[in-house]
Amino acid sequence: MSMYWIYIIPAIILVLSFIRQVNQYERGVILTMGKYSATWQPGWKILIPVFQRMIKVDVRVKAVDVPDQEAITKDNIPIRINAVIYYKVLDAAKAVIEVEDFFFAVSQLAQTTMRNAVGEVTLDELLSNKKEVSERIKKTVDAASDPWGIDVQAVELKDIVLPDSLKRTIAKVAEAQREKQAVIINSEGEVAAASNMAQAAHTLSSQPGALHLRTLQSINDLSSDQSNTTVWMIPIEALRALEGLKSKTKE
């Protein structure tokens, strides 16, 4: 019986050495004698050593942080910009055969495309339409990486760093805009106040006795004041009213 174990144990070890495991989030690209032969799905597979080689490819969504890039906008403003690109491998065989290092290739492609996209828009367009610029970069990178079996799912522009001198200029422009708006609002208020005062003056002059009532109201307001000095300004209309009263008395 012990003689059988001498042969069985090496055979088991030999068979186990042929077994390869492909995880759920992986695909196995098989090269048989240097040529592509199959793409293995998740599970246990038997690989013939020497004749076959398996290259595992992770098919989960990857997030690539595109480093800061120096770029010049359409209106010749230098900026620094970075982004994050999300993609996944759809065809593992193409990702292995068509490109040497798809991870590095996608990162480099995203950097070049991002600089080109920034150069096609002005700074104002870039700041106000970040989503549109991101979508344009996504479409370009996705189309270029299709032969590699890569599906680009999203591109997000993160930070747009402006030169310090430009930041100060923008701050001055914003401050000037606020001051301009304040002056406009103040002038509109003065126009409205002048219009109301003119309308009130017209009402007082057109209604008999209205000016006298207004004068009596002012006297009543002054009576509660602790000041001992009172300055009176008699309107011409009041004098005319007194002259009219005097003429009626003489009659």
Same domain, 94 and 53: no
Helix H segments across the chain? Answer: 2-18, 92-97, 102-119, 123-128, 130-145, 164-206, 210-223, 236-250
Among 116, 142, 167, identify where a domain stops: 167
Whole-number Å distance between alpha carbons of 41 and 31: 15
In whole angstroms, give the CA distance from residue 169 to residue 178.
14
- Which candidate, 6, 24, 28, 8, places its Cα nearest to that of 16? 8
pLDDT at 204 over 70: no
Is a pLDDT exceeding 80 seen at residue 182? Answer: no
pLDDT of residue 69: 82
**Distance, CA of 2 to CA of 8 (rounded, Å):** 10
Task: Please check the confidence at residue 226 and state whether its pLDDT lies above 70.
Answer: no
Run of H or E including 40: strand 35-40
pLDDT attached to residue 236: 60
Q: What is the mean pLDDT of the chain?
A: 79
Q: Which of 117, 140, 167 is a domain's end point? A: 167
* CATH of residue 93: 3.30.479.30
Axis-axis angle for helices 102-119, 130-145 (nearest 10): 140
Same domain, 80 and 126: yes
pLDDT at 195: 77
pLDDT at 248 over 70: no
Band of residue 160 on the pLDDT scale cut at 50, 70, 90: confident
Q: How does pLDDT run across 11-61, given as a tens digit for each residue?
A: 677 767 788 889 999 999 999 998 999 999 999 888 888 888 999 999 999
Is residue 25 located within the same domain as residue 67?
no
Q: Is the per-residue pLDDT at 1 higher than 60?
A: no
Q: What is the pLDDT of residue 97?
A: 92
The closest alpha carbon to 157, from 176, 174, 134, belongs to 134
Same domain for 48 and 66? no
Encode pLDDT of 106-146 as tens digits.
Answer: 988 988 898 888 888 888 888 888 888 889 999 999 999 99
pLDDT of 166 above 70: no
Question: Does the pLDDT value for residue 93 go beyond 90?
Answer: yes
Is 214's pLDDT higher than 90? Answer: no
Q: Residue 116 corresponds to which tokens in the numbers above?
A: 């080109």
Q: Which domain holds residue 24?
A: 2-57
Domain match, 146 and 99 both: yes
Domain tally, the chain: 2
State the amino acid at position 70 in one-letter form: E
Share of the chain above pLDDT 70, in %: 69
pLDDT at position 230, please? 61
